[in-house]
Structure 1
Amino acid sequence: MRIRSRIENALLDLLAAGGVVCIGLVIAAFAFDISLILFKTGSMSPTIPQGSMSVVQRIPADEIEVGDVVTVDREAGELPVTHRVIEVHPQRAGEALIEMQGDANPTPDPGPYRVTEVRKVLWSMAGAASVIVWFSDPWVLGGLTLAAAALVLWAFWPREAQYDGEPACADDEAGGRP
């Protein structure tokens, strides 16, 4: 029983540490304006292949440099575009016109984008988009929620005291109560 108890405690400690890491990542995401972007197309291949996930940080137009891979929002109803910056034309304070081109595209995007801020790609992971999409399925989220609730219930469920042959205190040995 002692080995089982140690394994259970180690598992709970590992899960608690994972929870603390997740909370820290959420706080960092809000503090540093970081988010995730999933890639549906291969226009940035081979640098960022189709099905990748990227971590992006919002930066002002004044910080954009040629060679950065950035995401810009387009007109309402259109998906944002993530391409490499090939030219930056500073405008009035806090604004820039940027020209972009996908690494896999033979020509630059049709026109410049007028921006006050963009989301700069910090790093990406190939193939991670499908995993994130799978975890965001309501059935998967529901199952994970039920599993977490069952784990918490199990962790705090009262257990029977186990007698190992040794008295708990001196009063138990004498058979009296304080």
Structure 2
Amino acid sequence: MPEQLVHDENSSGSNSNAAGRVSLEKAARVLNIFREGFLTIIAVAGVICIIGITAAYFLNASFVVFKTGSMEPHYPVGAISLTIKIPAKELKPGDVASVLRDGASVLITHRVVSVNGDPAGPQTGKAVLTLKGDANSSEDPVLYTVASAQKVIFTVPHLGAWVMAMRGPWFLGAATLVVSVLVAWSFWPKRDRKHRAEPEKTIGRLDAES
């Protein structure tokens, strides 16, 4: 009878250990899936960044984030637009363009109302633009005499707000920490499960023989 009790206790202990190993293996698989998924997202984001940099270099493309509601409802606050740099004289009424006046540091992105030649003559290569925000009741109070402008090609609503948030120091710091941990984890040496299982089998055989 005592031998049977000892055997039952050993069996229950072995079952508990097996259940614990199964739970750990499931948790490890879930963590591995999370790690691989996150690294895949980072890789895709890297490819998108490379494509964006290449397009910016060869096509004079850039992105503009709408921070005010002057172009609503078609261009809400937080929208992001892809723009391509073109000569200002190639703009047409109805186009949406970003311009930077001489001496100014902030882009103005409004709809083109009219395009006229520079009074100083065509040799300047500039054009005089009249712009107006879609949500504004009147045209901009100033004219924009510029040689080039960023013409809006397409727009994605709300994405710009996320882009601006990701440029913040807190997000960059947290993202760097998470990526560093995941990269270190992916290269961390893994234990061989066979070596861990062998001692348990050996102990089980000794218990059975005794």
Match of 2:110 among 64, 83, 90: 83
1:20 and 1:77, CA in 2 relative to 1: closer, same or farther beyond 3 A? Answer: closer
RMSD: 2.7
1:18 and 1:107, CA in 2 relative to 1: closer, same or farther beyond 3 A? Answer: closer
Q: Structure 1 residue 77: deviation in Å?
A: 5.1
Match of 1:123 among 130, 154, 165: 154
Who is 2:182 aligned against?
151
- Give the TM-score of the pair, scaled to structure 2: 0.66
Contact preservation (8 Å) 2:126, 2:145: yes
The answer to whether structure 1 residue 74 and structure 2 residue 101 are counterparts is yes
Match of 1:56 among 78, 83, 93: 83
| Alignment-mate amino acid for residue 90 of structure 2 | E
Q: Deviations over 1:1-51 (max 9, x none)?
A: 699398478534554344333322322223222222222221111121223
Q: Could you tell which deviates more after superposition, 1-10 or 42-51?
A: 1-10
1:32 and 1:133, CA in 2 relative to 1: closer, same or farther beyond 3 A? Answer: same
Who is 2:4 aligned against?
none
Who is 2:22 aligned against?
none
Who is 1:4 aligned against?
29
Aligned residue for 2:49, secondary structure, equals helix
Q: Structure 1 residue 55: deviation in Å?
A: 1.9
Any unmatched runs of 5+ in structure 1?
165-178
- How many residues align structurally? 164
- The share of aligned pairs that are identical, in percent, is 36
Q: Could you tell which deviates more after superposition, 17-26 or 57-66?
A: 17-26
Contact preservation (8 Å) 2:131, 2:140: yes
The answer to whether structure 1 residue 28 and structure 2 residue 55 are counterparts is yes
Larger C-alpha radius of gyration, 1 or 2?
A: 2
Q: Deviations over 1:96-125 (max 9, x none)?
A: 111111111222112321110011111222
- Give the TM-score of the pair, scaled to structure 1: 0.77
